[in-house]
Amino acid sequence: MNGLIIEKLAQIEREEGVRILHAVESGSRAWGFPSPDSDYDVRFIYVRKPEHYLKLEKTRDVIELPINDMLDINGWDLDKALRLLHSSNPTLFEWLSAPIVYCQTDFIDRLSPLMDDYFSCKSALHHYLSMAEGNYRGYLRGDMVRAKKYFYVLRPVLACKWILHRHTRPPMLFRELMDSELEESLKPVVERLLDIKMNAPEIKEIPKEEVLGRYLDETINAVRQEIFAYPGEHRPDWAPLDRLFLQTMLNATTSISDGQRIGLDAESFFASLQSGIS
């Protein structure tokens, strides 16, 4: 499957005229608990040629391939990704720290030192709490529930607890969250659910786990109260992201038509601008 994914990413570069900077697996495979029939959720960040960003007419900043039974592939433009980084979008942080990487450039080396500066604990807490509440209401209220849906609530709940305890970005791997943040008495229950999740089809239903339901009720309510009292945070400056955007656009963009890297770096670009102005 890896070969097919790499082939699809190369196809996107050719057909869309873009350079893929970073491509990863997201979803249950990246979280460490895929089912036997789990699909592949491939997410990527891409950059276009410089002239694309100088147009007055705005175009789509997302590329999406048709979804089939095994592959779900879509990506965000560099411009969109960096704007979302500035607003501390938790989904983007997950893409940037995913353990399964299909494609990576030196873009990540330049971005990594900035990531913690743009991570907002409060924004992430709101995101994960909303995810936990929505999935809990939507999937875990019946007498019979799909086993995998417990992890769609447990993972964001444990991510909230991680942030509240450590004030850092939560890890992608569910087991790391579970080992750190889940009560010892509940670990055997969750281990059993993990075994079902990873060895049964996605649609597998099981009787509702009452003890886990009570834990989720209590923890979601407690997290909600803690978030309400969580202090506000300073919004970081745009300047480092502006510089990264310009450097990446000028240095990493390739010409799909002839395969040659565009020969203009950020310093030369600024020099040419200054020359034109004078």
Q: Each residue of 224-268: pLDDT tens digit? A: 999 888 887 778 899 999 999 999 988 765 443 333 333 344 455
**How many H-runs (helices) and E-runs (strands) does the chain carry?**
12, 7
| More reliable by pLDDT, 175 or 2 | 175
List the domain range (segments joined by +) for residue 224.
121-228
Q: Is the pLDDT of residue 205 over 70?
A: yes
Angle at 266 between CA 75 and CA 259, to 5 degrees: 55
What percentage of the chain exceeds 70 in pLDDT? 90
Instruction: Quick: pLDDT tens for 87-99.
Output: 999 999 999 999 9
- So what's the pLDDT on residue 74? 94
Read off the tokens for 108.
């990540």
Question: In sequence order, what DSSP letters do the residues of 125-166 get, joined into one string?
Answer: HHHHHHHHHHHHHHHSSSSEEETTHHHHHHHHHHHHHHHHHH
Instruction: Tell me, yes or no, whether 99 and 131 share the same domain.
Output: no
User: For the chain, how many structural domains are there in total?
Assistant: 2
pLDDT tens digits for range 118-132: 999 999 999 999 999
Answer with the residue of higher pLDDT: 16 or 2. Answer: 16
What's the average model confidence in pLDDT over 128-147?
Answer: 90
- Greatest mean pLDDT among 29-38, 166-175, 233-242 lies in 166-175
Do residues 85 and 6 share a domain?
A: yes
Same domain, 126 and 93: no
Among 16-20, 37-41, 206-210, 269-273, where is mean pLDDT lowest? 269-273
Residues 178 and 102 in one domain: no
**Weakest-pLDDT range from 98-112, 188-202, 263-277:** 263-277
The pTM for the full model equals 0.86
| H helix or E strand, kind and range, residue 25 | strand 19-26
Q: Which two tokens stand for residue 150?
A: 């417990």
Query: Do residues 143 and 208 make contact, with C-beta atoms less than 8 angstroms apart?
Result: yes
Amino acid at 154: L
Rounded to whole angstroms, how far apart are CA atoms 4 and 70?
11
Cβ atoms of 253 and 48 closer than 8 Å? yes
Question: Is 70 inside a domain boundary?
Answer: yes
Q: In the numeric block, which tokens belong to residue 43?
A: 């997410």
Residue 135: inside a domain:
yes
Q: What CATH number corresponds to the domain at position 92?
A: 3.30.460.10
Q: Would residue 59 count as lying in a domain? A: yes
| For residue 169, pLDDT beyond 50 | yes
* 244 in any annotated domain: no
126 and 104, same domain (yes or no):
no
Which of 210, 228, 246 represents a domain boundary (last residue)? 228
Cα 152 from Cα 155, distance rounded (Å): 6
- Clarify whether residues 113 and 154 are in a common domain: no
Q: 21 and 109: one domain?
A: yes
> Coil, strand or helix: which one is 263?
coil
Q: Do residues 158 and 90 both lie within one domain?
A: no
- 247, amino acid identity: Q
The strand pair at 144-146 and 62-64 is best described as unpaired
